[in-house]
Structure 1
C-alpha cells in the first residue's frame, strides 16, 4: 500500500431529478432534518484520508448557497455539465489544477443522492483499491429474478443473475486513469453511465467490493421515507 496516495471526492450534483415529480432537485429534498446532498457529503467528510470534495452544480442552482456546508473548508464547487460524465470531468479538471501530486491522487466519485452509504464500506473500498493498486466500486449482487422483455413488455427470457451485480457508489479510481477514460469516451461519443463503464471502455481493471443492500439511491418519491428509515436504523446499530 502506497502511503503517498491522496484521495479527492467528486459529487456530481447538477441533475434536476425529474423523476421525483417536484420542482426541487432530489439532492436538495429534506432528509432527517438535512438535505439528501448534505447527508451524502457528511458521510464523505468522515474519511480521514480525504483531501477535499468537489461538488459539480447546475449553472442555475439556487439551493447550494443555503446549505449548512456551503463554507466548509474541504468542499469546493465547480460547474456541472449536461451529462453526469461532463460534471465529473469538470470536477476532475479542478482536482488536477489543485493537487500537488497528480500521480498519487485517487478520485472517489459518489452519487449526490446516495446518502445511506456507510463509512465502513467506504474505508473497505479504499483499502481494497490501495492494496491491489486498482480501481474498485461498491456493488450488490442481484437478488431478484431478471426478466428480458421486448418492446411490448412481453417477457422473452430470464437472465442468468449469478454474474450480475448492481453498481453502487462510491467508485474509486486513479485521477489520471479516470480522466483519460472519460475524455476518450467523450471523443468517441461512447455512452457512459458510471465511472466504471468509462474505465471498462478503455480496457481498464475494475474490482467489485460487495456493498450493503441499504446503500440505496434516492430516485423516486417513496425512496425518501426508505432512506430516512435506513439512516435511523444505521444510527441505532
Structure 2
C-alpha cells in the first residue's frame, strides 16, 4: 500500500506581508505560524512522514525552537522558487520514498487546514490515477483591471476554482513533472497539467486560506483557536 508523505516548502521570504520576519515564522497565538501548519499533519495518523524544506542560510528555525514530533524532518535545500524548493525536497528524499507513494505539498503559511478536509483529500485521491488538490469554486464576480486599475471587463466565473493545498501526487510523477516543467509553475498541479494530465479538484474550505497579507492573520487566529477542539473531537470519534 502506498504511504502518505507531506512536503512543506518554507524557503520563501513572504515579501507581500511587509513584515520583518518571513511569514511562516510570524507569531500566531504564541507560536510561529508554521508550527500550527505542522500540527495539523502531526495529528493525522495516516501521514507517515512530514518534511520541511527551508533555505540553507535560514537561522530562524533554530532560534525559534520550533517543537516537532519524530515524524518531522528538516531539509536545508530550499531553492529560488517554490517549484525548485519542492523539487529539491523530493531529491533529498530519494531512496526513502517509493515511486508510487503519495506526496502532499502544503503551503507553510496555510495553517487553517482542517482534519475533515485532509481526510476528504486522502479518501478521494488514494486510488486516483493522477492525483489532485484541494480547491473551492469561485463565488465572487471577477473583474479584470486595466493599467489604470479600472475595470477592463468582467470575467465569467463558471467552472473556475481557487486552488489551495495540499496538492497530492505520486512521488515519481511529481518529480517528473517538476523536472520537465517549462518556466516557473506556480503550483504542483500546473506542472502535472503540462504533462497532459488532469488533476482532480477536491472541495476544500474557506478557512484553509494562505496567509499573504496582514489582514489574513486575523482569520487565521480564528481558525487556529478552533483547531485543538476539532482535533480532539476527531480523535474521540476515532476511539469510538
* TM-score of the superposed pair, with normalisation by structure 2: 0.90
Partner of 1:222: 215
Structure 1 residues without counterparts, runs of 5 or longer: none
Alignment equivalent of 1:87, drawn from 73, 85, 88: 85
SS at match of 1:161: coil
The reply to whether residue 205 of structure 1 matches residue 201 of structure 2 is no
SS at match of 1:98: coil
- Which consecutive aligned stretches of 4+ in structure 1 deviate over 3 angstroms post-superposition? 66-72, 233-237
SS at match of 1:147: strand
Alignment equivalent of 2:141, drawn from 141, 145, 151: 145
Partner of 1:196: 189
Alpha-carbon deviations, 1:144-178, whole Å to 9, x = none? 11011222222121111111111000010000001
Alpha-carbon deviations, 1:9-47, whole Å to 9, x = none? 100000111111122111001111211100001111122
Partner of 1:111: 107
Alignment equivalent of 2:163, drawn from 163, 167, 191: 167
Partner of 2:236: none
Contact persistence 1:38–1:67 (CA under 8 A):
no
Partner of 2:224: 231
How large is the RMSD of aligned CA atoms in angstroms? 1.6
CA distance in 2, matches of 1:24, 1:213: 25
Contact persistence 1:138–1:168 (CA under 8 A):
yes
CA distance in 2, matches of 1:202, 1:151: 34
Partner of 2:69: 72
Describe how 1:125-136 pairs up with structure 2 within 5 A.
Answer: 125-136=121-132
CA distance in 2, matches of 1:49, 1:236: 19
Partner of 2:22: 25
* TM-score of the superposed pair, with normalisation by structure 1: 0.91
Q: Which moved more, 1:14-23 or 1:63-72?
A: 63-72
The reply to whether residue 59 of structure 1 matches residue 56 of structure 2 is yes
Contact persistence 2:100–2:172 (CA under 8 A):
no
Structure 2 residues without counterparts, runs of 5 or longer: 231-240
1:94 deviates by 1.9
Alignment coverage as a number of residue pairs = 229
